[in-house]
C-alpha cells in the first residue's frame, strides 16, 4: 500500500520543483520592481505590500510542502504519505494563486504557472491525494492517530522528554486549564512549582549555568518538544511559560557580562525569579526602532519613564527585561536601545503597584483578553523607576545594543510560537476526532461522514506540515541557521492554528461554542498567535518578504533573460539546504 501511495511523491516533487522555479522568478521580478540601483527601496516596497505579502505566504507554504514531501521514503507510514501529499496539493494550489498575484504586480510572465496547472502530474496528484476518497481514507487515519502526524522521529532523549511532558500536561495541567481560562486566574503557584521542578525554565540555559541545554550548542528541538506538549493542555497556563526565559536567557548569553550570566542564569533556570519581556509600547507595536520608553542616567543607575504594553506575565515575574531608550537621540533608532533588568516583587492578580524608596514607581494593569489567559498581559507605567547600573545587560558596553541582544531570542521565540501553535492544533484535532466518534447525527457517528473525514484529513495535513517544518527547522536553528525559516514556520503554524481550531469548533457544533468545551478555549487562544511574537503582517513583510527579495536582488537586473534567471534562481533558496530535497536534514 505504501509503495503505491509513495509513487505519487515523484509527481509531487516535480510539481513543487516547478513551483520553486516559478517562485524564484516571481521573487526576482518583484525584487526588480522594488529596487533602485540594485538595492531595495522602502517606498517601492510599501507600494508592493500586497504582492510581498503573497510572496511571503507562498514561501512558507512551499517550504512546508517541500520539507514534508522530501522526507517521504519507503519507511514512511501510510498516514504520513497520505497527509504529506494532501498538504502538497493544498499548498501547491495556494502557491499557484499567490504567485499569480506576484506576477501580476511584478509584471513577470505567468506562463510557468499555467504550465504547472495544466501539467498531467499536477492533475494526477490532485486526484490521487486530494480527492474526496483519498481524504476519506486519510481522515480515518487521522482520527485514529491521536494527533501523531508529521512523521516526527525523535531521538531517545527528546522522546523521553516528550513522553514526560505530555503526561504532565495531560495529568496535571489539563484538569486546571478550563478554570484558569474561564475565571481568568493567574497560573497557580503549585503548578509553577511543579514546572520549576521539571526544569521548564532552564531549557535554554546551558548546563554550566544551571540549566539543561548543552554547553556547546543549542537544543531548540527540546524547547519545541516541551512547548508543544505543554501547549496541548493550555497555551497560557503552561505552553507559553518557556518563551520568556528563553528570550531573556539568549539576551544574557548574547550580551551579558560574565557576572550577569553567573548571577542571573542559574536563577532564571530555577524559575526564581520568573521573568517577563517588555518591548511593545502603546504607540508602537511591531515598530521596535521607534520605541520611546526613556532611561535617564542618574548616579548609580537609570531612571525609567514611559509606558510598555502587552507585557505578558509582568505581574508574576520578579524581573522584567525592558527595552529602554538610553540615548535620547531618537534618530539612532535601534541604536539607542538598551536592555535593562527591572526587578520587582512578584504579584498575583490583575494589578500591582511597586513603590521605590527613592520615589520611583511601576504600575501594572492586566489587559482583559478573549483568550491566552492565565499569565495576563500588562500595561506598565514607569515613573522614575530606578534600575542600578549592574542591571544593564552588557554593562556600559551593552548600551545601544539592546535591540541586537533582544533579537538573539527572537528566532527561539518564533520557534516556540510555532510549537505553541502546533500544540493547540494537536489538542483541537484530537478533540474534534474524539467528538466525531461519539456524536451521532442523522443516525450515524458524525465522524463517519465524508465531510467530517475530509475536514479531519485537511486539519491533520496542516498540523502535520507545521510539525514537520517546525521540527526540521529546529534542527537547522541549532546549527546556527534558520532565521528566515523560523519566521516562515511561525507565520504558517499560527494561521493554521486559527483554521484548525475553527474547524474543530465547527465539528462540535453548538457544543464547540460553549465555554464548557475545551475546543472553545482552543479557538480563542489560537487567535492570539498571529498577533504576538511578530504580527503576521510585520513578519510577512518586514522579515520574510524583505529577506526573500534581498536574496533575489543580485539576479533581478537580468530578469528579462528569463531562462537564465530561473535556472540560477534555484540557488537563491529561502532555506539553507539543497533545492529538490526540501529541508530534510
Binding residues for a second copy (CB under 8 A): 46-51, 53, 93, 97, 101, 104-105, 114, 117-118, 126-127, 131-132, 135, 182, 280, 283-287, 290, 309-310, 367-372, 377, 440-443, 449-451, 454, 498, 502, 505-506, 509-510, 512-516, 520, 523-524, 527-528, 530-532, 535-537, 541
CB of 547 to a second copy, least distance (A): 17
Q: Which position among 54, 61, 232, 533 bears the catalytic label?
A: 533
Look up residue 384 and give its three cell numbers: 522614575
CB 25 within 8 A of CB 566: yes
Q: Of the two residues 150 and 512, which places its CB atom closer to a second copy in the complex?
A: 512
| 249-530-334-485 Cα dihedral, nearest 10 degrees | 70
Residue with cell 503526561: 167
Q: Of the two residues 224 and 427, which places its CB atom closer to a second copy in the complex?
A: 427
Q: How far is CA 530 from CA 90, 167, 414, in A?
A: 21, 28, 11
CB of 525 to a second copy, least distance (A): 10
Q: Which of 159, 264, 229 is nearest to 427 (CA)?
A: 229
Q: Of the two residues 101 and 222, which places its CB atom closer to a second copy in the complex?
A: 101
Q: Of the two residues 283 and 348, which places its CB atom closer to a second copy in the complex?
A: 283
- Give me the long-range contacts of 540-544 (CB less than 8 A, separation at least 24): 540/52, 540/53, 540/56, 540/57, 540/491, 541/45, 541/49, 541/52, 541/53, 541/56, 542/286, 543/484, 543/487, 544/56, 544/59, 544/60, 544/484, 544/487, 544/488, 544/491
Q: Of the two residues 276 and 477, which places its CB atom closer to a second copy in the complex?
A: 276
| Rg over CA atoms, the chain | 24
Look up residue 494 and give its three cell numbers: 499560527
Q: Of the two residues 93 and 270, which places its CB atom closer to a second copy in the complex?
A: 93
Q: Of the two residues 219 and 536, which places its CB atom closer to a second copy in the complex?
A: 536
CB of 108 to a second copy, least distance (A): 13
CB proximity list for 97: less than 8 A, separation 6 or greater: none
CB of 386 to a second copy, least distance (A): 28
CB of 535 to a second copy, least distance (A): 6
Q: How far apart are CA 411 and CA 536, in angstroms?
A: 15
> Would you call 281 a catalytic residue per the annotation?
no
CB of 277 to a second copy, least distance (A): 14
CB of 434 to a second copy, least distance (A): 17
Residue with cell 514537520: 468
Q: Of the two residues 396 and 516, which places its CB atom closer to a second copy in the complex?
A: 516
CB 534 within 8 A of CB 439: no
Q: How far is CA 192 from CA 200, 220, 241, 410, in A?
A: 9, 22, 9, 24
CB of 299 to a second copy, least distance (A): 36
CB 277 within 8 A of CB 319: no
Looking at the annotation, which residues are catalytic? Answer: 533
Amino acid at each position: 500500500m505504501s509503495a503505491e501511495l509513495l509513487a505519487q511523491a515523484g509527481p509531487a516533487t516535480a510539481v513543487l520543483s516547478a513551483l520553486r522555479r516559478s517562485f524564484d522568478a516571481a521573487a526576482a521580478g518583484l525584487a526588480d520592481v522594488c529596487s533602485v540601483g540594485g538595492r531595495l527601496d522602502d517606498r517601492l516596497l510599501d507600494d508592493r505590500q500586497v504582492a510581498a505579502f503573497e510572496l511571503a505566504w507562498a514561501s512558507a507554504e512551499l517550504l512546508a510542502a517541500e520539507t514534508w514531501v522530501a522526507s517521504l521514503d519507503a519507511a514512511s507510514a501510510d498516514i504520513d504519505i497520505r497527509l504529506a501529499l494532501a498538504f502538497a496539493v493544498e499548498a501547491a494550489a495556494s502557491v499557484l494563486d499567490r504567485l499569480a498575484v506576484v506576477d501580476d504586480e511584478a509584471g513577470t510572465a505567468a506562463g510557468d504557472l499555467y504550465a504547472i496547472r495544466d501539467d498531467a502530474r499536477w492533475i494526477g496528484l490532485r486526484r490521487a491525494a486530494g480527492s474526496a476518497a483519498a481524504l476519506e481514507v486519510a481522515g480515518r487515519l487521522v482520527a485514529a492517530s491521536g494527533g501523531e502526524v508529521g512523521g516526527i522521529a525523535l531521538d531517545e532523549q527528546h522522546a523521553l522528554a516528550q513522553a514526560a511532558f505530555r503526561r504532565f500536561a495531560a495529568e496535571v495541567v489539563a484538569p486546571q486549564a478550563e478554570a484558569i481560562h474561564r475565571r481568568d486566574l493567574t497560573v497557580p503557584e503549585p503548578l509553577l512549582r511543579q514546572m520549576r521542578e521539571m526544569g521548564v525554565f532552564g531549557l535554554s540555559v546551558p548546563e554550566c549555568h544551571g540549566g539543561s541545554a548543552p554547553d556547546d550548542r543549542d537544543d531548540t528541538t527540546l524547547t519545541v518538544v516541551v512547548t508543544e506538549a505543554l501547549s496541548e493542555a493550555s497555551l497560557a497556563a503552561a505552553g507559553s511559560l518557556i518563551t520568556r526565559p528563553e528570550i531573556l536567557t539568549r539576551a544574557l548569553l548574547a550580551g551579558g557580562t560574565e557576572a550577569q550570566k553567573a548571577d542571573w542564569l542559574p536563577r532564571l533556570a530555577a524559575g526564581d525569579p520568573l521573568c517577563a519581556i517588555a518591548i511593545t509600547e502603546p504607540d508602537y507595536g511591531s515598530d521596535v526602532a521607534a520605541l520611546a520608553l526613556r532611561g535617564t542616567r542618574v548616579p548609580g543607575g537609570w531612571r525609567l519613564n514611559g509606558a510598555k504594553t502587552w507585557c505578558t506575565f509582568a505581574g508574576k515575574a520578579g524581573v522584567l527585561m525592558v527595552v529602554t531608550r538610553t540615548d535620547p537621540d531618537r534618530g539612532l533608532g535601534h541604536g539607542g536601545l538598551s536592555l535593562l533588568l527591572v526587578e520587582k516583587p512578584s504579584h498575583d492578580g490583575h494589578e500591582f503597584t511597586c513603590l521605590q524608596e527613592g520615589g520611583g514607581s511601576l504600575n501594572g494593569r492586566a489587559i482583559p483578553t478573549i483568550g491566552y489567559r492565565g499569565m495576563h498581559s500588562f500595561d506598565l507605567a514607569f515613573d522614575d523607576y530606578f534600575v542600578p547600573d549592574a542591571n544593564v545587560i552588557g554593562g556600559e558596553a551593552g548600551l545601544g545594543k539592546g535591540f541586537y541582544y533582544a533579537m538573539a531570542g527572537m528566532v527561539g521565540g518564533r520557534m516556540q510560537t510555532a510549537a505553541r501553535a502546533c500544540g493547540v492544533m494537536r489538542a483541537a484535532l484530537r478533540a474534534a476526532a474524539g467528538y466525531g466518534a461519539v456524536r451521532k447525527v442523522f443516525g450515524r457517528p458524525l465522524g463517519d461522514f465524508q465531510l467530517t473525514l475530509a475536514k479531519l484529513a485537511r486539519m491533520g495535513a496542516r498540523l502535520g506540515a507545521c510539525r514537520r517544518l517546525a521540527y526540521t527547522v529546529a534542527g537547522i536553528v541549532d546549527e546556527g541557521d534558520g532565521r528566515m525559516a523560523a519566521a516562515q514556520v511561525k507565520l504558517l503554524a499560527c494561521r493554521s492554528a486559527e483554521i484548525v481550531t475553527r474547524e474543530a469548533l465547527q465539528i462540535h457544533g453548538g457544543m464547540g461554542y460553549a465555554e464548557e468545551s475545551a475546543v472553545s478555549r482552543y479557538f480563542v487562544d489560537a487567535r492570539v498567535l498571529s498577533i504576538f511574537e511578530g504580527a503576521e503582517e510585520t513578519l510577512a513583510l518586514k522579515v520574510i518578504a524583505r529577506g526573500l527579495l534581498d536574496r533575489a536582488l543580485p539576479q533581478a537586473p537580468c530578469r528579462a533573460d528569463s531562462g537564465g534567471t530561473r535556472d540560477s534562481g534555484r540557488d537563491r533558496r529561502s532555506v539553507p539546504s539543497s533545492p529538490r530535497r526540501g529541508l530534510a536534514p
